[in-house]
Chains A and B, each alone.
Chain A
Amino acid sequence: MIVSVKNLVKRYDDILALDHLSLTVNDGEIFGLLGPNGSGKTTAINCILSLLKYDKGEIEIFGQSMRPEAYDVKRNIGVVMQNVAVYNELTVQENIDYFCGLYVPDKRLRKELVTEAIDFVGLHEFSSYYPKKLSGGLLRRLNIACGIAHKPKLIILDEPTVAVDPQSRNKILEGILELNKKGATIIYTSHYMEEVEQICSRIMIIDKGRAIATGTKEELKAMITMGEKITVESQRITETQLNQLRRLPSIVSADYKNKLLIIKSSKGSNNLETVLEFFKTENIQFGKIYSELPTLNDVFLEITGKQLRD
């Protein structure tokens, strides 16, 4: 086990930011912390890193209690903070060298690590640029390079793709997978469920500082009653037809709004066939029809009653 958090409680005056949060991160996994803005992801990370004081709980990293002066533990952690944290007066190469130097005193080794980090994030042609000359995406990549250049065993990435263009986002996500392949354990926080689904091997969904579900994406989706979501474009469906549809076996819910009929069915096969049969019987005209498997947003919606993006 790389990280162990037990019953973490953090209050900001009357606001309970973390409510007895417990989590474990195993060696070699990409652990996703998924939750809406303000759910407590960054607070949890800052507590884990011993930056924030907390009211209660125990935090262990690499089997040792995490404290501000736990330098041996910190030496093996790389952090990519949500806000870009680089010196505007140092070039790309100098920034990476500076932050790497806080972990690696040997100059020769550091030079190799810096070159590797620059190549890893694809900033080779920008290595002599000052951060102000970089685009938002390139700046994020520099931020990542500064956090991982020293080749840490544990990498914590706190929303590294916020305000990043799709090209840079893909590059960042591919990079994280590569780091993981090379042996790094990763904690990845985001409110983008697609990203978390794409790269994380295990996910914890948190809301209001509480862990509401933990597991692989398949396990999380298995926790909810919904098995399939069928969307139908139709010009007209009467209330009677809608009620009849709701009474069909395996249909969990059916809602018609803005000429879109959204049907949620329970797990099992032939759901789409059942719906099509009903449309034929009732002689309902329809345009597009498509079926989707549940997403993590559906998981979050079913557990909390609100959208993940709220």
Chain B
Amino acid sequence: MSTHVFVNRLKCLLRDKETIFWTMLFPLLLAIFFNVAFANINSGEAFQAIGLAVVNNSSFQNDQALQTALTEASTGKQKLFELTLTSQDKAEQLLTEQKISGYLLIDKEPVLVVRKAGIRESIIKSFLDSYLQTMASVNTILQSKPKNPALLLNSVGQPQNYVTEVPGTTAEPNSILLFFYTLIAMACFYGGFWGMREVTDIQANLSPLAARINISPQHKLKTFLSSLSASLLIHFTEMLILLLFLRYVLQIEFGAKTGYVILTTALGSLAGISYGAFISALVKKSENVKVAILIGSTMFGSFFAGMMVQNIKYIVSQKFPLLAYINPVNLLTDAFYSLYYYDTLSRYVLNISLLGIMTIVFCLGTYVIIRGRKYASL
């Protein structure tokens, strides 16, 4: 490798403000935008206790079972109801002002009063139905005079769960992570701008600068590799800055496998640069057409990886699995996703292997096209 070429190339590329913007500042700005846009998604999805009033009349005062059931449902961290004991008029007023979703009036039978149909109203009704069913069952059993009624009443208060939960992950579910993972993947493939420039500056039929380098006493591919190393170093550093920004400024979780996250970013960076180089070498059109192809394909890839609509990723995985496997942006996104969510590495290894194969194809393709040192036309 030529140190002279590498050092000067670093100098050159670091002063290329336009490419620096698209490969580093643009993803950072997009990350800030995502953070602002998705700030309330998780808190919005958390369950909020349902406002419920109970008319505190004599019937309710006498119904110890209902009082116990409502108290249990309205205490603790994961309480179901925000319970208010009040008069009927006050309950009616609270309902009108939409401060509660419904109220219970206990007469001979508990009556639920709601103003509209909705999830919260349905939950109150389900609770009430369940209570009434259980009480009806208990009454029926008690009428048959069981040997040990205390045991029966005890078992009613302690329902048995016959399903065992086996978690596939220890990670906290977080619906916004995927957006940020696709953003990193997109930023990696924006590294294609660097790759594209490398090929333009080494192919004599693409630029006068490249012609000048080709007539110098330097081995073309060694010069290309020295130059490409500078691009790779700059882009990988940009990606590390993005990772640090996401992790420590925007508090985005990546799980505990930090080493793998960095390794994945490095491979993503290489994949992006080689992809851009391949497009530049393969497409015999103007620079603008090549840039349009790079941006267009990266944005399509990001879209199908779930960057704009999260469900698209799942729809593609279920209906068009091949598309999921040939989309390098999706593979990279999914690699970060599986590092965060899964304790095992099998899904991660599959993603990284496919991405590695694609990177090798891009590199070999570029090599085959640019290895010639004489041109049919300039």
Which residues on A are within 8 Å of B, measured CB to CB? 12, 46, 49-53, 68-69, 71-72, 74-75, 77, 79, 81-87, 89-90, 94, 97-99, 101-103, 105, 146-147
Inside 8 A of A102's CB, which chain B residues have their CB?
4-5, 213, 216-218
Within 8 A of A (CB), among B178-214: 204, 207-209, 211-214
Contact yes or no, A103 B204, CB < 8 A: no
Q: A72-B217, A81-B212, A102-B213 are in contact. List 14 more A-B contacts (CB 8 A).
A: A12-B377, A50-B374, A51-B204, A51-B375, A68-B373, A68-B374, A71-B217, A85-B207, A85-B209, A94-B11, A101-B4, A102-B217, A102-B218, A105-B4
Contact yes or no, B208 A84, CB < 8 A: yes
Q: How distant is the Cα of A50 from the Cα of B377 in the complex, in angstroms?
A: 12
What are 13 A-B contacts with C-beta separation under 8 Å? A49-B215, A52-B375, A52-B376, A53-B374, A68-B214, A81-B212, A85-B208, A87-B12, A89-B11, A89-B15, A94-B8, A94-B11, A105-B4
Q: How distant is the Cα of A228 from the Cα of B104 in the complex, in angstroms?
A: 122
Q: A49-B215, A51-B378, A105-B4 in contact; A86/B209 too (CB < 8 A)?
A: yes
Q: How distant is the Cα of A101 from the Cα of B211 in the complex, in angstroms?
A: 16
> Shortest CB–CB separation between residue B199 and chain A, in angstroms?
16
Using CB atoms, name the residue of chain A closest to B376: A53
> Shortest CB–CB separation between residue B224 and chain A, in angstroms?
13
Q: How distant is the Cα of A72 from the Cα of B217 in the complex, in angstroms?
A: 7
Inside 8 A of B377's CB, which chain A residues have their CB?
12, 52
Inside 8 A of B374's CB, which chain A residues have their CB?
50-53, 68
> Shortest CB–CB separation between residue B324 and chain A, in angstroms?
39
Q: Which of A12, A81, A97 contacts B208 (CB 8 A)?
A: A81
Among B208, B211, B217, find the residue whose CB has the most chain A CB atoms closer than 10 A: B217
Q: Which of A74, A98, A101 contacts B215 (CB 8 A)?
A: A74
Inside 8 A of A50's CB, which chain B residues have their CB?
215, 373-374
Among A71, A77, A85, A94, find the residue whose CB has the most chain B CB atoms closer than 10 A: A85
> Shortest CB–CB separation between residue A99 and chain B, in angstroms?
7
Q: A52-B375, A52-B377, A68-B214 in contact; A90/B11 too (CB < 8 A)?
A: yes
Inside 8 A of A147's CB, which chain B residues have their CB?
212
For residue B16, CB closer than 8 A to chain A, the reply is yes
Q: Which of A52, A81, A87, A103 contacts B216 (CB 8 A)?
A: A103
Q: How distant is the Cα of A53 from the Cα of B220 in the complex, in angstroms?
A: 16
Inside 8 A of B5's CB, which chain A residues have their CB?
102
Contact yes or no, B217 A74, CB < 8 A: yes
